[in-house]
Structure 1
Amino acid sequence: MNYTLALDALPATYACHCLDCQTWSGSAFALHAMLPEAVIAVTGPVVLYAHEGPGGHTSCQRVCGVCHTRIYNTNMAVPGMVVVRAGTLADSHLLDPVAHIWVKRKQPWVTIPDGVPSWPESPSPEEFAAAVRKG
């Protein structure tokens, strides 16, 4: 499976430190980019995994049908948007997260740089959009 993003530059990314992201990534946090669904084009086999989140919204995870890496998801709470797993981007080494969410669950050894917005849980949509726009 391959995917492309119709973007001129790397997207703004954020780190999520929630327990689900830690478990699903097998790491301390997961890097994400929230983008309009129209910018992603996928070729090859994709496996869909749908589950209901704590707020009652269905999240549909897309994983590579070959290696089972999570690539992106959609959520009925934010129609028309996708959340891309930024670590799967070809230039992921160039990413610099513009925000951190669910930091009340972050690993104690993770240090968030001064000046980078962070929230104990999920920010309001307005706060989050402002942080991502600045990035």
Structure 2
Amino acid sequence: MTARKATCRCGQLTVVCTGDPVRISVCHCLACQKRSGSAFAAQARYPDAQVCLTGEFREWSHTGDSGSRATFRFCGTCGATISFSNESLPGTTAIPIGAFADPAFPPPLFSVYEDRKHNWVAILGDAIDRYR
């Protein structure tokens, strides 16, 4: 079984995910743009039972544009978000793809809030959406 390790920037907070993600996506909502500091956020969702988080973290919850509440877990030292859960997708934990620091990580095939997507962004998986 595949195991992937993600870490915060300083390395004290880690998450190990086993198996394959159930969804790899990008989000263009304004909250994700702010959280990621980029034009969009990319994340891989795993069943909760396949995620093991170790280290000290802080949590912050926020109600997003969809009206559902998300809880973010981040390192209190370096501030990097290492995981989050959303009540609209119960039983799953999302891990920011960049935290894996793996250029071979599978690409996203699902894209949401495209009405807020920057006009210079093209997500190649948009044409091959296996999650619908």
> Common fold, TM-score beyond 0.5?
yes
Matches within 5 A, 1:34-113: 34-113=45-124
Question: In 2 relative to 1, CA 10–50 (structure 1 residues): closer, same or farther, beyond 3 Å?
Answer: closer
1:104 aligned counterpart, secondary structure: helix
- Paired residue for 1:23? 34
Q: Structure 2: 5+ residue runs without aligned partners? A: 1-12
* Aligned-partner residue type, residue 6 of structure 1: T
Spell out, residue by residue over 1:80-112, the C-alpha distance to the aligned partner (whole angstroms, 9 max, x if none): 111211111132453311121111111111123
RMSD: 2.2
Amino acid at match of 2:34: T
Deviating above 4 A after TM superposition, structure 1's stretches of 4 or more consecutive aligned residues are 9-12
> How many positions carry a matched residue from both structures?
119
Unaligned runs of 5+ in 1: 118-129
Q: Which residue pairs with 1:131 in the alignment?
A: 131
Query: 1:120: which partner in 2?
Result: none
Greater displacement, 41-50 / 77-86: 77-86
Q: Percent identity?
A: 32
CA-CA distance at 1:74 after TM superposition: 1.4
Any idea what SS the aligned residue of 1:27 has?
coil
2:128 to 107, 116, 121: 116
How does the TM-score come out when normalised to structure 2?
A: 0.76
Larger fraction in helix: 1
Looking at secondary structure, tell me which structure has more strand per residue.
2
1:33-82 alpha-carbon deviations (Å, 9 max, x no partner): 12111111111111111123345433211012221111111122322111
Taking structure 1 as the reference length, the TM-score comes to 0.75
Contact 1:10 1:95 (8 Å CA) reproduced: no
